[in-house]
Structure 1
């Protein structure tokens, strides 16, 4: 059998009154009329502060006004453990009265607060006994609860303010259909200020459904595993044009578990990195343009060398040497281009350079050492140096016959707060070696390539095979990245 709630509240011995959003009296029960000594026709339609005047600025007025405001702002119940609110008696004089009041929000069809149900209890007599110890203790507790409630309300408001003003976007969705329960200012700006609270993600942001974001939320809700996205492209409606435009986001879908360990909500947090992505794209465009121009410059230099050496009868070997060094420079440039001119790995530079110089004989070269990153200018010097050593080995050293071998190895040595890189180039089992009759450009290049890095290169033309020891100080990581 259905219950008539209005009739039930009408018969309740406890006073009840219903106010609309403008704080006008919409309904009250008989107990309320008896407690306030008023008639129904006097009250319905009047503002509560007009029907029961209280001096603006007084404690009673401010406490009641603040309680109503909290209910309307938060949609949550608010309690006043003790409030003095005088009532006009039958003779027209004001009677001092004390009340305990509970204000409960009543939601309308749109989910917003439509009415406030006030339940009041006349505690005037209890207040009159406040000097008694037991009752005093009760009143102290009531005041403490009220103070704590005010502190909690103020703290909640501070937290909400920080939440709304956070620079990153934040939202919470609830349940398997992902209903928005809260979203901060940054999130609302991202989605063109659309009204989303109380609606599902699919309803609020239909354009993201086909982009797979609802599927991601479903997966997080199902598995309880967070999802992290980096530089993720998403097409969202623009606030200015209402047309879809691409944005790039860093974000996380973090599951929130209930007391039973099930996913109840998903915390959405992130930031719009569209400007950073655009800047990186512009930077990459400039790097590509730089690489293109450097390659063109190398091609022009090679063409000039070809024309310059063409009419010189003894220039054959010199031209080949020059071309080989130019190719080594181009190879080092290509390695740096692949890393967008960031520090390059020594192993990659060494293997590519030596392979280009010795060809199939690379099988007789062992290359080993820990991972080391070299600044761009050091990588170029290293490529030219290793090219000289490798081509010399092919012409005169260990790779000039079928038995010789080469070991290229490096290690790190700690010097205080610095690291020193030591590279050993060791040839063995090749033809006998002796010091060169003259010091050519290649020897000088090897010996002086790393002076700028506080380095030293030493060539030892031992009979058993050439040995070269290269030692240089490695810059700190941030210095290497800036080089």
Structure 2
């Protein structure tokens, strides 16, 4: 059965008019002619705003034009709950008229060709605004219209922000993980523009082969997010045959509706450049470490050649021990890319290198404090000399002695490290008759006298060393 829709609309008691994309009137039914008090020849072929003029900038003109423009821009229907649009009478006078209008797009071959306007004359209802109930109805209608317009505008803004976000973002729905949305950054990352509407396995088979479907299944099943940290992912852009490696920080975040998982949000950043830069830096540091160790080995070889006689054997042993401590401090710093080193690490590793099995009799306790490289090396050398003296003459020279090492930070205008070494349980100690290199090194501390202080006290129950160093100055 074939239906003549032009005949159906023409016979309808409701006013209908059809506009083309230039807003030219191409057809109208008899009900529309009666409502507007015009003849068919007066309207056909005229633009809407020429046939029914209104002052530009007026509310009537803006409301009608904005509604028609939205249909032309979005290809979606638009409604005007209430609009005042005055109509000229046959005698030339003008009546205030109120309308409710719906604008429906008509597509042909996938292109917007026409707009169907359905209008209802609600003038009489509008005049009932003098009644309290009617006033409330119209206020609510206008409020709904304003709210809908605001919601549409906000939705468009949010979608624009979503697509322009610098981090890649995509939304997957259902147990099949079907793409519902994907912003420009995500499309650029995966090298595909047509992911929406397809499952992850269909759109990105190389990702499925790397086990990410199982990860998504687990997030969907448990409702627990999955965090990827510098995770290597291999992607094959559209039109290419070779995969490319990318390092990503990302999260698979479940989307909950009434505590039920409905989908998953993928959000993250491409950190490939950062990871490759760190790898290059690590390679350079390793090369530097290798060369410094070679230099230290050469120095050690020269020392062995220089300290050959029995008289110089003791000096050689001391020199090698100090060299090993310096190498230990160097290793600690290279592990941190020659950045700041923690006091706890410097103290423990330096003490372990010297005290060895006696390390169990040393108690460490202190704040989390980080020192710059030069200061860390100085502290390591001090710990070595203190441990060496304790092993020979102090608390670690017998079986019962012990050492307490404490440090903390104080603030009095500037931050300062307060460090203390206290021995007890060892033999009685006395000041050396003539201070050697080790004693002078300990007494100097880790900074000059203008920014810190150091003190060695030979107390009855054991040696005590205390030091203060301003951290900013250090």
If the length of structure 2 is used for normalisation, what is the TM-score?
0.78
5+ long unaligned stretches in structure 2 = none
- Helix, strand or coil: the match of 1:369? strand
Q: Quote the Cα distance in structure 1 between the aligned partners of 2:79 and 2:87.
A: 20
Q: Quote the Cα distance in structure 2 between the aligned partners of 1:427 and 1:325.
A: 25
Equivalent residue runs for 1:351-362 within 5 Å = 351-362=348-359
5+ long unaligned stretches in structure 1 = none
Measure how far apart 1:323 and its partner are.
0.8
Residue 368 in structure 1 maps to residue 364 in structure 2: yes
User: 2:377 aligned to 375, 380, 385, which one?
Assistant: 380
Deviates more, 1:233-242 or 1:209-218: 233-242
Q: Quote the Cα distance in structure 1 between the aligned partners of 2:74 and 2:325.
A: 70
Aligned to 2:275: 277
Q: Is the 8 A contact 2:25 2:47 kept in 1?
A: no
Aligned to 2:289: 291
Measure how far apart 1:208 and its partner are.
1.6
Measure how far apart 1:103 and its partner are.
4.3
Measure how far apart 1:328 and its partner are.
0.7
Measure how far apart 1:341 and its partner are.
2.7
Aligned to 1:408: 404
- Helix, strand or coil: the match of 2:316? helix
Measure how far apart 1:407 and its partner are.
1.1
Measure how far apart 1:138 and its partner are.
4.8
- Helix, strand or coil: the match of 1:150? helix
Residue 186 in structure 1 maps to residue 185 in structure 2: yes
Q: Quote the Cα distance in structure 1 between the aligned partners of 2:260 and 2:153.
A: 31
Per the alignment, do residues 186 and 378 of structure 1 end up closer, same or farther by CA in structure 2, a change over 3 Å counting?
A: same
Q: Quote the Cα distance in structure 2 between the aligned partners of 1:216 and 1:107.
A: 43
Aligned to 1:79: 79
Per the alignment, do residues 286 and 211 of structure 1 end up closer, same or farther by CA in structure 2, a change over 3 Å counting?
A: same
Q: Quote the Cα distance in structure 2 between the aligned partners of 1:438 and 1:196.
A: 81
Q: Quote the Cα distance in structure 2 between the aligned partners of 1:152 and 1:285.
A: 54
Deviates more, 1:233-242 or 1:332-341: 233-242
Q: Quote the Cα distance in structure 1 between the aligned partners of 2:267 and 2:469.
A: 43
Per the alignment, do residues 255 and 109 of structure 1 end up closer, same or farther by CA in structure 2, a change over 3 Å counting?
A: farther
Q: Is the 8 A contact 1:130 1:139 kept in 2?
A: no
Measure how far apart 1:72 and its partner are.
6.4
**1:123-172 CA deviation, whole Å, 9 max, x = no partner?**
35545x36745656655554444333333333333333333332222332
Residue 323 in structure 1 maps to residue 320 in structure 2: yes
Aligned-residue CA RMSD in angstroms?
A: 4.6
Q: Is the 8 A contact 1:309 1:315 kept in 2?
A: yes
Aligned to 2:417: 420
Q: Quote the Cα distance in structure 1 between the aligned partners of 2:241 and 2:24.
A: 40
Q: Is the 8 A contact 1:16 1:28 kept in 2?
A: yes
Q: Quote the Cα distance in structure 1 between the aligned partners of 2:140 and 2:219.
A: 45
Measure how far apart 1:19 and its partner are.
8.6
Per the alignment, do residues 171 and 67 of structure 1 end up closer, same or farther by CA in structure 2, a change over 3 Å counting?
A: farther
Per the alignment, do residues 185 and 49 of structure 1 end up closer, same or farther by CA in structure 2, a change over 3 Å counting?
A: farther
**1:224-265 CA deviation, whole Å, 9 max, x = no partner?**
22222222222233479674322222222222322x332223
If the length of structure 1 is used for normalisation, what is the TM-score?
0.77
Measure how far apart 1:321 and its partner are.
1.0
Measure how far apart 1:53 and its partner are.
5.4
User: 2:445 aligned to 449, 454, 459, which one?
Assistant: 449
Measure how far apart 1:426 and its partner are.
0.6
Per the alignment, do residues 18 and 334 of structure 1 end up closer, same or farther by CA in structure 2, a change over 3 Å counting?
A: farther
Measure how far apart 1:18 and its partner are.
8.6
